[in-house]
Copies of this chain bind each other. A is one copy, B any other.
Amino acid sequence: MSELRQDSTTREWVIIATERARRPDEFATAKGDKAIEIPEYVESCPFCPGHEALTPKELYAIRKGGKKRTAPWQVRVIPNKFPALRPTEDPARLQVGLFRGVGGFGDHEVIIESTRHNGYLALMEDAEVEDVLTAYRERYLSLRKDPRVKFIVIFKNHGKAAGTSIEHPHSQIVAVPIMPGGVRAKIDVAERYYDDNGACVYCSLLEEELYSKDRIVMESNGYVAFEPFASRVPFETWIMPRKHATSFCMLSESDSHLVAPVIRTILAKLYKGLRNPDFNMIFHSAPMEDEDTPYYHWHIQILPRLTLQAGFELGSGIYINSTLPEQTAEFLRNVEV
C-alpha cells in the first residue's frame, strides 16, 4: 500500500511507494568505500595546498596561528573560476512583453573545507567542522551587505551524482539579485501558517516530530536531526535549530559549537551506513527581506542522490520515494559512529 504525504512547509506532495519498497540497507550495497581510494594530496588539484596560484584570489581564510597571510590555511574561500553570476555586473531589469530578465549580478564563491584532498566533513574533528561553518557565516555576512542581494544559498555537492566536478572537498555560496519563485512559495506557506496559528510552522513541526519520535535521528542541546514525514528521497535528513531564528547568518559562535557535532555525526552515519553516498547539503535561510519576520526558520537539508528524478517528478512536482522515513530514521539511529 502506497501513501501520499504532504510537506507542511511547502505543501508539496510525495508518494511513499512501498510497493517498490527497498530496505534501507539495500542502498548501501552498491557503493564502495571511496575514501580509501582517494589520496590526501593530489598534484594536479587546484585546491590542494601549495597550488594557491592556480585559483582566483583568496577572499577569506582561516589560518593556523592567526591572521598572518604566510601561515598555512585550514579553510579557504575563493571566487568560483566559472561563476554563474558576477559582482561586477549590473542587476538591471529588462522587460520586453512577457520576457523578463535581470542582469547577471551576484556572487559565486567556493569554500575549500580542508587542506586534505580526502578531508570529508564526515571524517573531520568537530572543531574543523566549526571552522567551515565560521567561513560560511563570514562570507554570508559579507555578501548580504550589498543591498542588491536578495537571497543567499550555501550548498555542498558531494560526489558525481550530486553534480560535483572537483573532487577536493568544497562547498559553494551563491548570492542572487532576485527572490526565487520556490522560496517565495515557502515564505507564503510559513506566513499563512503564522497568520492562522500565531506560530512558526517550523517550530510547530519540530515540536510534533519530537513528540512522535518516529523520525528523529538524533537530538542535541540546540539541534534536532530528523527524516521529514514527506521525505522526497531515501534518507533525506533535516537539521533544525530548536531556537527560532530566520537565518543561518544569525548563528553565534556558541551555536556553531552546538551544530557542528550534529552535522558531522549525520554525515558520518550516512558515510558509514550507506558507504559514502553522493549527496547535496543545503542551508536554507530566509531571503534578506524576511530576516526580521517571525515566520521563517533556517534549517539544513541533506539529500542523498541514490535515485533519479524522472518525467513524473518533472511533470507533477510529486516525488516518488521507495522508502519509509520512519525506517530510514531507525536505520540511521542504529549506525554507530
A263 at the interface (CB under 8 A from B): no
By a CB distance below 8 angstroms, the chain B residues around A229 are: 98-99
Instruction: Tell me the chain A residues, 1-36 only, with Cβ under 8 Å from chain B.
Output: 1-6, 8, 10-13, 15, 17, 19-20
A231 to chain B, nearest CB (A): 12
A157–B308 Cα gap in the complex (Å)?
Answer: 11
Instruction: Tell me the chain A residues, 290-337 only, with Cβ under 8 Å from chain B.
Output: 301, 303, 308-312, 314-318, 320
Quick check: A151 and B303 within 8 Å, CB to CB? no
Q: Closest residue to A6 on the B side, CB-wise? A: B100
Quick check: A182 and B317 within 8 Å, CB to CB? yes
A174 at the interface (CB under 8 A from B): yes
Quick check: A163 and B315 within 8 Å, CB to CB? no
Quick check: A12 and B101 within 8 Å, CB to CB? no
By a CB distance below 8 angstroms, the chain B residues around A315 are: 153-155, 280, 282-284, 301
A136–B104 Cα gap in the complex (Å)?
Answer: 41
A39 at the interface (CB under 8 A from B): no
By a CB distance below 8 angstroms, the chain B residues around A181 are: 10-13, 185, 317
A127 at the interface (CB under 8 A from B): no
By a CB distance below 8 angstroms, the chain B residues around A17 are: 82, 84-85, 104
A54 at the interface (CB under 8 A from B): no
- A178-B12 contact, Cβ under 8 Å, with A19-B83, A98-B204, A314-B155: no
A9–B201 Cα gap in the complex (Å)?
Answer: 28
A86 at the interface (CB under 8 A from B): yes
By a CB distance below 8 angstroms, the chain B residues around A282 are: 311, 314-315
A311–B280 Cα gap in the complex (Å)?
Answer: 5
- A176-B284 contact, Cβ under 8 Å, with A82-B19, A84-B20, A310-B163: no
A203 to chain B, nearest CB (A): 11
A180 at the interface (CB under 8 A from B): yes
Q: Closest residue to A283 on the B side, CB-wise? A: B315
Quick check: B280 and A314 within 8 Å, CB to CB? yes
- A4-B311 contact, Cβ under 8 Å, with A15-B85, A82-B20, A208-B97: no
Instruction: Tell me the chain A residues, 97-123 only, with Cβ under 8 Å from chain B.
Output: 97-104
Most buried by B among A15, A176, A229: A15
Quick check: B13 and A155 within 8 Å, CB to CB? no
Quick check: B104 and A178 within 8 Å, CB to CB? no
A239 at the interface (CB under 8 A from B): no
A258 at the interface (CB under 8 A from B): no
Q: Mark A145-163, 1 if CB is under 8 A from B, else 0.
A: 0000001011111000111
Query: Of the candidates B11, B155, B176, which one forms a contact with A4 in the assembled complex, judged by CB atoms under 8 Å apart?
Result: B176
A284 to chain B, nearest CB (A): 7
A172 at the interface (CB under 8 A from B): yes
By a CB distance below 8 angstroms, the chain B residues around A13 are: 102, 176, 178, 180-181
Q: Closest residue to A179 on the B side, CB-wise? A: B13
A162 to chain B, nearest CB (A): 6
Q: Closest residue to A81 on the B side, CB-wise? A: B19
- Please name the 8 residue pairs, one residue from A and one from B, whose CB atoms are nearest each other, closest first: A163-B310, A2-B104, A182-B317, A155-B311, A282-B315, A280-B311, A153-B315, A4-B102
Q: 5 A–B contact pairs at CB < 8 A?
A: A1-B104, A13-B102, A17-B85, A98-B208, A301-B315
